[in-house]
Amino acid sequence: MTGPNILKGRTWVWPDDVNTDIIIPFRFKARTNDPVEMAKYCMYGFDPEFYKKVRPGDLFVAGKNFGGGSSREQAPVAIKYSNVVAVVAESFARIFYRNCFAIGLPALEVPGISKQVKQFDEIEVNLQDWSVKTRDGGAHPALKVPEFLRGLMLEGGLVEFYKKHKSFLWEKLEAVPA
Amino acid sequence: MTVPLRPDILNDNSLTFAEKIISIRAEGGEKVHHPGEITVLPADMAMAQDSTGPLAIKVFGEMGVPKVWDPSRIHLVIDHTFPAADEKVANLHHLMRDFAKKHGVRLVEGSISHQHLLENHIVPGMVLFGADSHTCQAGAVGAFATGIGSSEMAAVWASGKLWVKVPESLKVNLTGQFKKGVYARDVISHFIGMVGEDGGNYRSIEWKGPAVKALSMASRACISNNSMECGCKLSVFEVDPATQEYFRSVNRKPMYEVHAGTKARYKDEYDIELDKLEPKVAEPGNVDKVKAVEEVEGTPIDEAFIGSSTNGRYEDLLVAAKVLKGHKINSGTRCIVTPASRLVFEQAIKEGLAEIFLQSGAVFTNATCGACVGTHLGVLGENEVCISSSPRNYVGRMGAITAKIYLSSPATAAASAIEGKIADPRRYL
């Protein structure tokens, strides 16, 4: 089954604690404002040639605390403009996670997922029911996110949302219960 | 900005700092917010620097918002690569200057944002969103201060507010007194080693206990700043007589003094006895690989960096100067001293520290983030080893991805510069 809310692709599997300095070093991102250029340095800390190896539609699966460290939005931007369509991790660092939703990059928290997936396995991410299907057919629900955040991501992030609605969603958001 | 007085919430004995400050400041709310709830906070201040600001400016343009919500509350700070290291950086700096001129927002060049805001603008009880992870430094004076990314910053510029989730809180009880050669940086390194890189993720850390009152504002700022390295959302010292005295001395008036209730609920509580701490060093690659200095002593280094938003304040430079005085930097080693702000820079010159640095053979630079971010003033080459008082030792942080970074207090970095290898600072104090 495919569709706009089903993302099927090859995975890159990353370890725990992949920080934003690994995802895109400061010295490259401090010298450009062009997302396509940022993508050339994606995952540079692990493999400076990564940008030549990644293919459109690939996915990331990672261990705990993906995206720790710096607030640099260039990190999820570099991933998005590498045409990686979603990031699934056991957990995310706080600012990186917010940035993913803000730029419309699907980020799903699935405890235990990094043990279920091997490098280059095909997996399926379902943005509708917010889950991941692994190669063996196993379904892994992601931790729930507030509906307004999932909606923001599906609309493409803050820029697209504002262009369409001429407001930010939190202007109507009073309180979401825990 | 008029802010509602909510004595009922401020005096509620069952609430943490984070619950109180979010509840009293949350928009349109008449209720108490508990951990996990999401609400909207109006910003008193918004800050972006030269590696997040240009992207925020671009995003703001793409949104098509004609003007910012309140120019007087928006600060653009050129600090990470100041002055520009090359043409590409210079062009991004220009983008910030042009935006500042067009929208009338505040522009500062050549002081680290967190230090500049603390010296000039932050007051207890305010809400600060900063496009820089170490924004949490302002928790040192009891502000709500947290880091966000560029698109969210553009949205704050446009609307003056942002959604927040109420964090769970951790409480750290500090007791005892520092032994010789041990500083605030060793406390926070020890804590990060204890809880791990994500041990504070999504959490608000409250620093409490009898030892707090002896911590200077600079030491509190160091701890709040470096708390980011365990992922926290807030890292807070409540207002106490020392904070009040500081704000009297700089003639700024607190908005609120928020104190956690004595019956507040914490996710976890920790005790740290300062007397039991020794100088700490984090080994390369992860900030939570924290060891006692003895365990890594003797490791040869190519560079020692003393500076950054974590440890580039006057008290840090003073300790470094005390260690370096009468000594020479090892001939195979570079030692770079970079103050956190223009004010610190001027004070270091006025008080004779600059002379000590220069006589020892160290390089004393302008105020900037400098070597910490690996883009100018001390970039590491392949396989080089550095000991640094900056916050991060990640792969490629300060230059080549094969370079290795050890993290320590300024005293340990200075002692290591003298010996050309990682050294115990207590020999020089």
Residues 162 through 221 of chain B touching chain A, CB cutoff 8 Å: 162-163, 166, 197-198, 201-202
If asked whether residues B202 and B349 sit together in one domain, one would say no
A26 contacts B133? CB cut-off 8 A: no
Instruction: Tell me the shortest Cα–Cα distance from B424 to chain A, in angstroms.
Output: 28
ipTM over the 0.90 cut-off? yes
Is the pLDDT confidence value at A2 over 50?
A: no
DSSP string, B46-88: EEEETTTHHHHHHHHHHHT--S-S-GGGEEEEE-TT-S-SSHH
Tell me the sheet residues that pair with B174.
Answer: B272
Whether chain A has a CB inside 8 Å of the CB on B90: the answer is no
B339 and B377 both lie in a single domain: yes
The parent domain of residue A28 ranges over 6-171
Q: What does the alpha-carbon distance between residue B54 and residue B50 come to, in Å, rounded to a whole number?
A: 6
Quick check: helix, strand or coil at residue B174?
Answer: strand
User: Could you give the CA distance from residue A11 to residue B234 in angstroms, rounded to a whole number?
Assistant: 34
Given B54, B151, B201, which is nearest A102 (Cβ)? B151
Contact B51 A22 (CB under 8 A): no
Instruction: Give the count of domains, chain A.
Output: 1
Instruction: Give me the CATH number covering residue B286.
Output: 3.30.499.10
Q: How many domains does chain B have?
A: 2
Please report the DSSP string for B80-129 in residue order.
TT-S-SSHHHHHHHHHHHHHHHHHT-EEEESS-HHHHHHHHT--TT-EEE
Report the residue from A48, A93, A171 with minimal CB separation from B198.
A93
Residues B337 and B222 placed together within one structural domain of the fold: no
Instruction: Locate A73 and state its tokens.
Output: 């939005």
**Residues of chain B contacting A43 with CB distance shorter than 8 Å:** none
Give dist(CA B393, CA B269) in Å, integer: 27
Residue ranges in B352-422 assigned as alpha helix (H): 353-360, 410-419
- Which residues face A108 on adjacent strands? A88
Tokens of B37: 């709830």
As a whole number of angstroms, the distance between CA A47 and CA A37 comes to 16
Chain A residues with beta carbon closer than 8 angstroms to that of B58: 33
Shared domain for B206 and B295, answered yes or no, is: no
- Model pLDDT, residue A117: 97
pLDDT in tens, B346-381: 999 999 999 999 999 999 999 999 999 999 999 999
Q: Is residue B206 located within the same domain as residue B339?
A: no
The confidence band for B27, taking pLDDT boundaries of 50, 70 and 90, is: confident
Instruction: For an interface test with A, give the residue of B132, B197, B234 to mutate (most A CBs within 10 A).
Output: B197
Asked if B131 lies within 8 A of A159 by C-beta distance, the reply is: no
| Residue B196 CA to its chain's centroid (Å) | 18
Rounded to 5 degrees, φ, ψ at B16 are -80, 170
Q: Angle, nearest 10°, between helix axes B353-360 and B342-350?
A: 80
Q: Per the CB < 8 Å rule, is A21 touching B36?
A: no
Is the residue at A40 inside a domain? yes
Residue B405 tokens, joined: 């970074």
- Which one, of B120, B122, B127, lies nearest residue B24 by Cα? B127
Residue B261 included in any domain: no
Whether A126 is covered by a domain: the verdict is yes
Q: What average pLDDT does chain A have?
A: 94
Q: Give pLDDT tens digits for B42-79.
A: 999 999 999 999 999 999 999 999 999 999 999 999 99
- Say if the Cβ atoms of B33 and A30 lie within 8 Å: no
**Closest approach of chain A CAs to the CA of B54, in angstroms?**
7
Mean pLDDT of B243-254: 97
CB distance B38–A173 less than 8 Å? yes
Nearest CA in chain A to B232: A94
pLDDT, one tens digit per residue, over B199-215 is 999 999 999 999 999 99
Query: For position A1, what pLDDT does the model report?
Result: 43
Measure in Å the smallest separation between the Cα of B347 and chain A Cα atoms. Answer: 29
Query: If you search the block for the tokens 């707090």, which residue do you land on?
Result: B212
Kindly state the helix (H) or strand (E) to which residue B281 belongs, with its residue range.
strand B280-282
Alpha-carbon distance B323 to nearest alpha carbon in chain A (angstroms) = 30
Check which CATH number belongs to the domain holding A96 and give it: 3.20.19.10
Residue of A nearest to B52 (CA): A72
Return the bridge partners of B208, or none. B173
d(CA B162, CA B184): 32
Q: Are residues B167 and B229 in the same domain?
A: yes
Q: pLDDT digit string (tens) for B123-157?
A: 999 999 999 999 999 999 999 999 999 999 999 99
Query: Above 80 in pLDDT, residue B421?
Result: yes
Neighbours of B163 (CB within 10 A): 20
- Establish, for the pair of chains A and B, how many residue pairs have beta carbons separated by less than 8 Å: 175
Residues B204 and B298 in one domain: no
Residues B130 and B59 in one domain: yes
Q: How far is A83 from B348, CA to CA, in rounded Å?
A: 49
Give the pLDDT confidence of B319-352 residue by residue, as tens digits: 999 999 999 999 999 999 999 999 999 999 999 9
Q: Which of B272, B306, B326 is the last residue of a domain?
A: B272
The secondary structure of residue B178, as a DSSP letter, is P
Of B237, B272, B307, which residue is a domain's last?
B272
Chain B: residue whose CA lies nearest to A19: B394
Q: B269, B191, B195, B250: which is closest to B223 by C-alpha?
A: B191
| Residue A102 covered by a domain | yes
A178 in any annotated domain: no
Domain boundary residue, one of B244, B272, B300:
B272
User: What whole-number distance in Å separates Cα of residue B39 and Cα of residue B427?
Assistant: 52
Residues of B in contact with A25 (CB under 8 A): 374, 396-397, 401
B397 contact A CB<8A: yes
Q: What is residue A14's three-state secondary structure? A: strand
Per-residue pLDDT, averaged over A63-74, amounts to 98
Please check whether residues B295 and B183 belong to one and the same domain: no
Q: Does A176 reside within a domain?
A: no
Q: Burial code of A28-45, b = ≥16 C-beta within 10 A, e = fewer?
A: bbbbbbebebbbbbbbbb
Q: In terms of DSSP bridges, do strands A131-133 and A139-141 run parallel, antiparallel, or are they unpaired?
A: antiparallel
Calculate how close chain B gets to A28, using CA atoms only, in Å: 9
* Residues of chain A with C-beta less than 8 angstroms from the C-beta of B161: 168, 170-171
Using CB atoms, pick whichever of B131, B373, B401 lies closest to residue A71: B131
Expressed as residue numbers, the domain containing B349 is: 282-428
Among A168, A171, A173, the strongest candidate for a mutation testing the B interface, having the largest count of B CBs within 10 A, is: A168
Q: Dihedrals φ, ψ of A112, to 5°?
A: 80, -5
Computed on alpha carbons and rounded to an integer, the radius of gyration of chain A in Å comes to: 16
The answer to whether position B316 is within a domain reads yes
